Structure 1
């Protein structure tokens, strides 16, 4: 069975809206493109490495439209590696509407998201979800993912759609690798979905009281 990987960028207050540019989500959000001033070679290399082995993309409608207008024209340029990969692999689009699927290799998923994701797991080894914040929240809510790669950026915006807006359910995650920080303060966190729900405890219990008091 394959793995569904969520690749996402967020601020310290977990805003994930329109990191790449103002045109990604221009209505009512004043900070489109907040990621660009913080990018560095370390985080760029991390993102490139995270995409290695990808054999399919799972995208929401808005992100698909942005990608379809950009990546087919980038092969041979500065982003040739990712462009070649994205143009080559199948693209699966989660949309209730009728998107223009002119980007080669694009397929619209049916209305049963959970069933469609299970089929993708059976068909592909590594499916990457990039951007697609609304879709990500659905996957988080239904636990329809296996890995979460999160790049935390050292800014607080105070407004905007958050990573877990409408998608927060009690979930255990396992840290798969030590956190890695770049020179501009971006921290890369790699998590795997774990079973069960978060446990609770009592910090005043006798066996923990001394540690809690320092």
Structure 2
């Protein structure tokens, strides 16, 4: 009987832990880069998930990035069109993002993340206030699956100007480590970008909605649910 209680309680805990959902995965074509030797920055997919406090992102690329770790990762977010920084449109500076990367956008970008995984590995989060970019958070990438080409991050929702219920447009890009480098691969498109020394363009047409979280039941609630499960089993005997 005790084993049944533990099994039911464990199932309830597992269900509660995934109350925010399993996330949304977006796929990208393999090999849609101008140089096939750059597989460490060839995006395969990205997955977003969230809880009431944080936004979680995992990006999968086509190489072991524990061995080849020079690639940089960019996240562009547009949640408030009225204040976004326009890049590369209507004569504006085509490098109008905090890292001065050569990525044009037809939509305003009001939050940005730039990350590197070599050396001390970090991510810097920024929001745009209508006239300037402001750094809002510093984080550390999760490289526990880097040998499989997967890098993950945890961003606080507040650092990106987001809250539960918000829907935002976004794109994820890979690039090099030099000022004015373009995006080499973009999650949103299978179109091959021209490469180093050229402009790149993001359509910013992917969307994610920050899901509202389901409260996790306390120990008493779990015990009660487990008890109901056992009671139901007894009645059916």
Q: Normalising to structure 1: TM-score of the pair?
A: 0.26
Higher relative contact order (CA 8 A, sep 6+): 1
Q: Normalising to structure 2: TM-score of the pair?
A: 0.24
Which structure features the higher share of strand residues? 2
Which structure features the higher share of helix residues? 1
